[in-house]
Amino acid sequence: MNAPARPRLVFVSPLFLFPNDAGGKIRTTNILRGLKGGAFEIILVGVATAEQQVRWATELNSVCDEFVPWAPQPARAKWQRAGDLLDALPVNVVADRTAAGRRAVRQVLARPGIDLVVFDFVHSAVLCPDVLPCASLCFTHNVEAEIFARHANLASNLPRRLMWQSQHRKMVAYERTALRRFDAVIAVSERDAAKFRADYAIADVAAIPTG
């Protein structure tokens, strides 16, 4: 008899994970390696160039059963990125909002038999389809709004302070709305989990401490 099919987990990452040169990448890679070969069939959906897919093929195979890439956007000049400050979303969320990313996520989630989707970093929620067809989870790496609040407090002049205050307000609104879409949220610490409950009224939140 054939073994029963494993539940299928889609993991959406807005970052290419390799090399592991940042804390968030390391944490995500360790989580995926812990899951690989276990209860779930892992489908990793993420941004990657053709060169990255070839160069890091062995590492990708160590974290997922299938990798579904989307192509990164061409680099934009600083003056072009400045226009993102006028968007309703925070600038770092705008950077992850790509048609290619949304299309890749939508197409994978339209497959039959998808049981769970995990969005890595709250930024990646901008790639969500309008309706999620399965159970959903968000892995967070920070309370993102606090980062902009710190930038505002440390700003060296009034224009910069006003800019970061605006970004902070946008991130509070985005983070609250995005996290409430998910069935559950994972935080990196009990402290962050408590902030999500208190500030955003997220009921189902748990912590996986990074140590």
Return the CATH class of domain 8-143+182-207.
alpha beta
Q: What is the CA radius of gyration of the chain?
A: 18
Mean pLDDT of 196-202: 97
Q: Which two tokens stand for residue 8?
A: 């299928």
pLDDT digits (tens, 9 = 90+) for 119-165: 999 999 999 999 999 999 999 999 999 999 999 999 999 999 999 99
CA distance 96 to 41: 26
Amino acid identity, position 32: L
Residue matched to tokens 């579904």: 68
Residue matched to tokens 């941004």: 47
CA distance 167 to 164: 5
pLDDT digits (tens, 9 = 90+) for 36-68: 999 999 999 999 999 999 999 999 999 999 999
* Terminal-to-terminal C-alpha distance of the chain: 43
- 3-state SS assignment for residue 89: coil
Its pTM stands at: 0.94
Q: Which two tokens stand for residue 109?
A: 């989630």
Name the residue among 80, 88, 160, 155 with its Cα closest to residue 126: 88
Domain ranges in the chain? 8-143+182-207
